[in-house]
Chains A and B, each alone.
Chain A
């Protein structure tokens, strides 16, 4: 098996049989991950288009809705996610330097940040349920004292967008836990880190999407 590649002495043992060398495998994997991210962005993109259309149609209603969100919670969550992106990124460089223990610590922190994010989300959601701020037709108009008849739609968007994002956070946490186990087992090292990088890209995109959602939902209005 050929060993020529730009990453120095990559052990050929990791190369699946249908690839010529580790470089080809690495490049393919990375391209695959990026293409998958394109689909994620398009998926969220469509819902953002819907948001933009209705925001244009009912600006006051979106304003009223945004008022009932607590921007401080959203802001804390933004910070938590940005920090987790950072720990995710350094975990890769630790793996590349064979510092397995530190890499594991960084990954564990990332999962923890994801968990904090979800806990805060949980408090936000349950507070809203308490106030009767349900999506769409379930919105408790009397209890909420809504000024706009269709305020439920705003919360429809709110729950749809944050809910879909939340599912992605949960999936990301699952993937990072899987990375953590494999890192502790010693699967990743200076010659092989593609899965860590791949999940990392996914996690960054999930963060990035939040960075769009936060101002749109909490601040614009």
Chain B
């Protein structure tokens, strides 16, 4: 590389001291800041998950570990924080804020995102909102579940307002990140980097950003109205005042269904990168994958009612929502088939990032198929608010998004830190997470089909066996993540120096030193070909 920079100058040592990090406008550093904070929230949310599972190890009647959370009130609170933390602080920001921030500019040959200061501001928004939300735990706890359904949320404790404002501010952070990404993609591509030469991860982030921009404001106003309802009794959601509590659900899901695609589309982007790289093959159907992201984004706005089949909405609405929901399957299936076609006759190497990508394919398939089952109106009437739903969304959110995040993280780790991690430990970590995940959540499909309701802290003895298995699974997942953490920490401490392009990828970010210099590229790249010219 041209020696315009002193040898060894990179974004990590470009400036020194904590203050230089807290005031940085370098997208790579901001990505790392998100990484550290999101990992912290994941730890907190994860501990809560383990507690919930421990509580459910046995019915309370038995004199054993069942009963750690003392009673249903504490269980409901921990459940609420677990859900809210995992959704708003881990899965939604996860891939875009960590990997997106770090790699989007590198992917398109830009020096930074379009608005570096706003990028930093969005991290502070995220932190402020998260702090507000978590602090409620130390004042008056909230026990509404992460969906804040009215009228319960306007009747219970006072923490609703603070919690909801926290979520609102985190929403602003999400909007700012999305806005930044859209403008960056439109305006800052390197010479020759046409839209159709962008890596699929960028396409995914771009589609996600559009969703963030269009859906989040609706959640914003919904949460503000909820806070106003609680403080000033405005009457819009309060049935006692002629308001409509179901309207809250409509507003909430108008955001939160698209939000599940805010969670999964970036994951699909990561998986596209991983599959093509580790199959050493041009991705099959580049344009189909790129545009199916936009397709999913578009359809996602019209299906929110599938969360409300039993809410008392009209039968016609239920039937329509059921039908439209099925359409989501089409662009999703397009992606699935393209990934499989890419692997077909490829020379696949099973490095740990690829293992996570394959894990994603397997688990997301199960999550998606059960989603279609739930979208079928008569089936949902039976399964609604049972553990079947719990299993479904964990398969897509954890099995999907989190697997992709882990895969992407291992994949790009050498670029981010200039070091290699311990491959064997990483693979072992995958094995534990993958097996543990299935042991934990597959029994929940059966439990749900047997009729075990979700959000209950206790159950009848008939459900005991499967719950025991599920709880044991959660310990396997824990082991897996601890191994993963170890692989990373050891990699950071004593990993060997990473080459510029350890996986022989073709995308731009591998054309710059590891870790990248402050300005990303020592020489501005000029792009002359598509991102996956393998063979």
Question: With A32-B183, A43-B221 known to touch, is A156 a contact of B111 (CB < 8 Å)?
Answer: no
B233 CB contacts on chain A under 8 angstroms: 135-138, 152, 156
Taking CB as reference atom, which chain A residue is nearest B216? Answer: A39
Distance in Å: Cβ of A34 to nearest Cβ of chain B? 10
Digitize A36-59: 1 where CB-to-B-CB distance is under 8 Å, 0 elsewhere.
101110111111001001100010
Question: With A28-B183, A35-B179, A46-B251 known to touch, is A18 a contact of B235 (CB < 8 Å)?
Answer: no
B115 CB contacts on chain A under 8 angstroms: 28-29, 32
**B interface: dominant SS:** helix
B254 CB contacts on chain A under 8 angstroms: 46
A160 contacts the other chain (CB 8 A):
yes
A149 contacts the other chain (CB 8 A):
yes
Taking CB as reference atom, which chain B residue is nearest A41? Answer: B217
Complex Cα spacing A13 to B311, Å: 59
Complex Cα spacing A45 to B254, Å: 13
B525 CB contacts on chain A under 8 angstroms: none
Contact (Cβ within 8 A) A31 B186: yes
B17 contacts the other chain (CB 8 A):
no
Complex Cα spacing A17 to B114, Å: 11
Taking CB as reference atom, which chain B residue is nearest A149? Answer: B242
A211 contacts the other chain (CB 8 A):
no
Please give the residue numbers on chain A whose beta carbons come within 8 Å of chain B beta carbons, in ascending order: 16-19, 24, 27-29, 31-32, 35-36, 38-40, 42-47, 50, 53-54, 58, 61, 134-138, 149-150, 152-153, 156-157, 159-160, 164
Contact (Cβ within 8 A) A42 B218: yes
18 A-B residue pairings within 8 Å (CB atoms)? A18-B188, A28-B114, A31-B187, A32-B115, A32-B179, A32-B180, A35-B179, A39-B179, A39-B216, A43-B221, A46-B218, A46-B251, A46-B254, A149-B242, A153-B235, A156-B233, A156-B235, A164-B224
Contact (Cβ within 8 A) B188 A156: no
Digitize B510-530: 1 where CB-to-A-CB distance is under 8 Å, 0 elsewhere.
000000000100000000000
Total chain B interface residues with beta-carbon distance under 8 A: 42
Complex Cα spacing A18 to B242, Å: 54
Contact (Cβ within 8 A) B238 A28: no
B243 contacts the other chain (CB 8 A):
yes
Tell me which of A35, A36, A38 has the highest count of chain B C-beta atoms within 10 A of its own C-beta: A35
Complex Cα spacing A5 to B217, Å: 35
Task: Tell me the residues in window 184-226 of chain B with beta carbons closer than 8 Å to chain A beta carbons.
Answer: 186-188, 213-214, 216-218, 220-222, 224-225
Contact (Cβ within 8 A) A43 B235: no
Contact (Cβ within 8 A) A136 B232: yes
Distance in Å: Cβ of B211 to nearest Cβ of chain A? 12
Distance in Å: Cβ of A171 to nearest Cβ of chain B? 13
Distance in Å: Cβ of A93 to nearest Cβ of chain B? 25
Task: Tell me the residues in window 103-119 of chain B with beta carbons closer than 8 Å to chain A beta carbons.
Answer: 110-112, 114-116, 118
Task: Tell me the residues in window 82-133 of chain B with beta carbons closer than 8 Å to chain A beta carbons.
Answer: 110-112, 114-116, 118
Distance in Å: Cβ of B526 to nearest Cβ of chain A? 13
Contact (Cβ within 8 A) A42 B217: yes
Contact (Cβ within 8 A) A160 B183: no
Contact (Cβ within 8 A) B238 A136: yes
Complex Cα spacing A92 to B117, Å: 24
Complex Cα spacing A74 to B118, Å: 36
Q: Which listed residue (B182, B187, B224, B236) contacts A157, Cβ 8 A?
A: B236
Distance in Å: Cβ of B476 to nearest Cβ of chain A? 42
Taking CB as reference atom, which chain A residue is nearest B224? Answer: A164
Q: Which listed residue (B183, B225, B235) contacts A137, Cβ 8 A?
A: B235
Distance in Å: Cβ of A125 to nearest Cβ of chain B? 13
